[in-house]
A and B are shown apart, each in its own frame.
Chain A
Amino acid sequence: MTQVLLETHGLTVRFGGHVAVDAVSCAFHAGELTAIVGPNGAGKTTFFNLISGQIPASAGRVDLEGDDISRLSVSERCRRGLGRAFQLTNLFPGLSVLENVRLAIQAHRGAGRSLLTMADSHHALTTEAMAVLERVRLDRLRDQPVNALSHGNQRKLEVAMLIALDPRVYMFDEPTAGMSVDEAPVVLDLIAELKAERDRTILLVEHKMDVIRTLADRIIVLHNGALVADGEPGAVMASDVVQEAYMGKELADV
């Protein structure tokens, strides 16, 4: 098997008495796209929050490229190569489209600590940011303030911010939710391109079965916070546990 980039060991979080993520142990490999599915409230986003560090785990551990990162801060995990796009769009609303991506590039290049140079004189950062914007077809909107963008374009920018970080592990949380039919392919094609690079790990939370079928190498199913199925897409979709636990009805529709 290829190299393991990310691995969770018994990852658990409790909110009061409610176990939102329940002892999830799972390894993710380089070059693999794993779809994470499960009904609303299954704990998918919370699982991401534990991996990227927004929420401290009640128990368990996260390893990135073999190192335990459970005690590191969110920013430290990001600097180590863990990139995340959010389910609810989470941008710098008052700044321009270009500035949003530039900030991500700048973070990735470690250039944020310069106090007395002019930001606009760092042309390499701007060029790189424009290249990312072209990939999501937002280059023409570079000077628009983010809060003036349509929902679909904000979702694209959300993805652009993640790509700008050039991480080892990509975490997409329903990247196309609320996007129109003509907008979604831009993002999906991009994810396919990333996958083709083969040296990254991609985690994708997604509800749309057709998307999963075309992109995923593997599916894991969360139900009430627990990992109930894991495997190659065809097998997981057909398995009894999935049929009963969650997808029975939806699969019947397909």
Chain B
Amino acid sequence: MIMKLLSGDTPRSKILTLVLLAIFLCLALAPFLFPGVRSLDTAARIAIFIVLAASYDLLLGYTGVVSFAHTMFFGIGAYGVGLASQHMGRGYSALIVGSLSGALLAAALAFVIALFSLRVRAIFFAMITLAVASAVAVLVSQLSWLTGGEDGFTFRIPRELGPALRLGEFAGVKINGKLVNYYLIFTLSLILFLIMLRVVNSPFGRVLQAIRENDFRAEAIGYRVVWYRTVATCLSAAIAALAGSLFAIWLRYVGPDTTLSFAIMLDLLLMVVIGGMGTIYGAAIGATLLVLAQTYLQDLMGSAAAATEAIPLLSRLLDPDRWLLWLGVLFILSVYFFPTGIVGRLRAGK
């Protein structure tokens, strides 16, 4: 049963199994293990970014295609839900219509980009995605009558998914709509994650790996490489859009900074590379680490800076504003010491 769910792709390392199990349990029980608005928010972000990073890994790690438009697809899903809720009125149908049309639009856009660029060369795809993603970001900030411009906009979701719904208490934790919302996101993220795990272990997924290893030979034994790359691109875009929809439902807000920014694109790259490309599980670990670091590293540094106030240079370096610097250092160290990512390292040293 579990093997089926995991598509026969076990973590293949004891430590890795434990880490993944810990992430799963912490997310599944987050509201009860870590009560508080902020930690629940962090848990939801982790769940969503695991899906987003895994969908990027599908492209980068499994297909060997470099895309800079992944946050654009993420944003399309988020704006899909936001705009649908705004124009159709609050309700589940708005959420569903918004998510599905976002995913469809993302897949269609990915298809067009792939059609124009993948035929030529995989590297051309990277450049095109960069151009299209920048153009879309500009467009979103310019069309402020529709998108709210740089500020974005908030919207209303069904009452059952917001803090207004109160269902009492359980184990000392208030059961409210926010909790329902969290479990909706957790469940859908888990399903999307398992679907991706299945896809990479399907005959189709094996072809993707073959293409990554040697596209010339993949074509020579009869696989239409462009077709496979295109389908992978569309699938990855659609899932990224669905992750974006989940994020919007969670935040009840969409804006360029939370969904479209280039900073998120960099984060994604870090998540996949640090976790281990081409493993899907790596995305889960990378996303968890990075979201945690972003949320708590600044706090940690703040207290460290306060503690070392007497030492001039050190306290400067530990200033919370320098957190990106430390993240960069972390990245360089991890790529240097674990070129195959955390998952690759754990599997090799089992």
- Which of B8, B199, B218 is the one whose CB lies under 8 Å from A120? B8
Assess the A74–B219 pair: CB atoms within 8 A: yes
Determine the chain B residues whose CB is within 8 A of the CB of A75 once the complex forms. Answer: 219-225
Asked whether B187 is an interface residue with its Cβ less than 8 Å from the other chain, the reply is no
Give per-residue flags for B1-37: 1 if the beta carbon is below 8 A from chain A beta carbons, else 0: 0001001100000000000000000000000000000
Assess the A119–B205 pair: CB atoms within 8 A: yes
Determine the chain A residues whose CB is within 8 A of the CB of B217 once the complex forms. Answer: 86, 90-92, 161
Asked whether A116 is an interface residue with its Cβ less than 8 Å from the other chain, the reply is yes
Assess the B220–A112 pair: CB atoms within 8 A: no
Asked whether A78 is an interface residue with its Cβ less than 8 Å from the other chain, the reply is yes
Interface pick from B74-82, B136-144, B168-176, B207-215: B207-215
Assess the A104–B221 pair: CB atoms within 8 A: yes
Determine the chain B residues whose CB is within 8 A of the CB of A121 once the complex forms. Answer: 8
Assess the B203–A117 pair: CB atoms within 8 A: yes
Interface pick from A7-15, A93-101, A179-187, A239-247: A93-101
Assess the B210–A92 pair: CB atoms within 8 A: yes
Measured between alpha carbons, how far is A173 from B275 in the docked complex, in Å?
41
Assess the A103–B214 pair: CB atoms within 8 A: no
Assess the A73–B224 pair: CB atoms within 8 A: yes
Q: How far is the CB of A52 from chain B (nearest CB, A)?
A: 7
Number of interface residues of A (CB under 8 A): 38
Interface residue SS majority, chain B:
helix
Determine the chain A residues whose CB is within 8 A of the CB of B202 once the complex forms. Answer: 114-119
Q: How far is the CB of B1 from chain A (nearest CB, A)?
A: 13
Q: How far is the CB of B87 from chain A (nearest CB, A)?
A: 33
Asked whether B206 is an interface residue with its Cβ less than 8 Å from the other chain, the reply is yes
Determine the chain B residues whose CB is within 8 A of the CB of A112 once the complex forms. Answer: 203-204, 206-207, 223, 228
Assess the B203–A122 pair: CB atoms within 8 A: yes
Assess the A119–B213 pair: CB atoms within 8 A: no
Query: What residue in chain B is nearest A164 (Cβ atoms)?
Result: B221
Residues 30-74 of B at the A interface (beta carbon under 8 Å): none
Measured between alpha carbons, how far is A161 from B221 in the docked complex, in Å?
8
Give per-residue flags for A63-81: 1 if the beta carbon is below 8 A from chain B beta carbons, else 0: 0000000000111101100
Measured between alpha carbons, how far is A165 from B223 in the docked complex, in Å?
12
Number of interface residues of B (CB under 8 A): 29
Asked whether A29 is an interface residue with its Cβ less than 8 Å from the other chain, the reply is no
Determine the chain B residues whose CB is within 8 A of the CB of A95 once the complex forms. Answer: 209-210, 213
Determine the chain B residues whose CB is within 8 A of the CB of A73 once the complex forms. Answer: 219, 224
Determine the chain B residues whose CB is within 8 A of the CB of A84 once the complex forms. Answer: 220
Assess the B221–A78 pair: CB atoms within 8 A: yes
Asked whether B90 is an interface residue with its Cβ less than 8 Å from the other chain, the reply is no
Asked whether B337 is an interface residue with its Cβ less than 8 Å from the other chain, the reply is no
Assess the A116–B222 pair: CB atoms within 8 A: no
Assess the B222–A79 pair: CB atoms within 8 A: yes
Determine the chain A residues whose CB is within 8 A of the CB of B220 once the complex forms. Answer: 52, 54, 74-75, 78, 84, 86, 90
Query: What residue in chain B is nearest A122 (Cβ atoms)?
Result: B203
Asked whether B261 is an interface residue with its Cβ less than 8 Å from the other chain, the reply is no
- Which of B201, B206, B214, B216 is the one whose CB lies under 8 Å from A106? B206
Asked whether B252 is an interface residue with its Cβ less than 8 Å from the other chain, the reply is no
Assess the B222–A102 pair: CB atoms within 8 A: no
Assess the A113–B222 pair: CB atoms within 8 A: no
Determine the chain A residues whose CB is within 8 A of the CB of B213 once the complex forms. Answer: 92-95
Given contacts A90-B216, A103-B221, A118-B198, contact A113 B206 (CB under 8 A): no
Asked whether A107 is an interface residue with its Cβ less than 8 Å from the other chain, the reply is yes
Measured between alpha carbons, how far is A79 from B224 in the docked complex, in Å?
10
Give per-residue flags for B172-211: 1 if the beta carbon is below 8 A from chain A beta carbons, else 0: 0000000000000000000000010011011111110110
Determine the chain B residues whose CB is within 8 A of the CB of A102 once the complex forms. Answer: 206
Measured between alpha carbons, how far is A108 from B206 in the docked complex, in Å?
14
Measured between alpha carbons, how far is A120 from B201 in the docked complex, in Å?
8
Closest 10 CB pairs of A and B: A78-B222, A92-B213, A107-B222, A112-B207, A115-B204, A79-B222, A107-B221, A114-B203, A74-B219, A104-B221
- Can you list 12 A-B contacts (CB < 8 A)? A75-B219, A75-B221, A75-B223, A107-B221, A112-B203, A112-B206, A114-B203, A115-B199, A115-B202, A119-B206, A120-B201, A161-B221
Q: Which A residues are within 8 Å of any B CB, using their own CB? A: 52, 54, 73-76, 78-79, 84, 86, 90-95, 99, 102-104, 106-108, 111-122, 125, 161, 165
Q: Which B residues are within 8 Å of any A CB, using their own CB? A: 4, 7-8, 195, 198-199, 201-207, 209-210, 213-214, 216-225, 228, 235
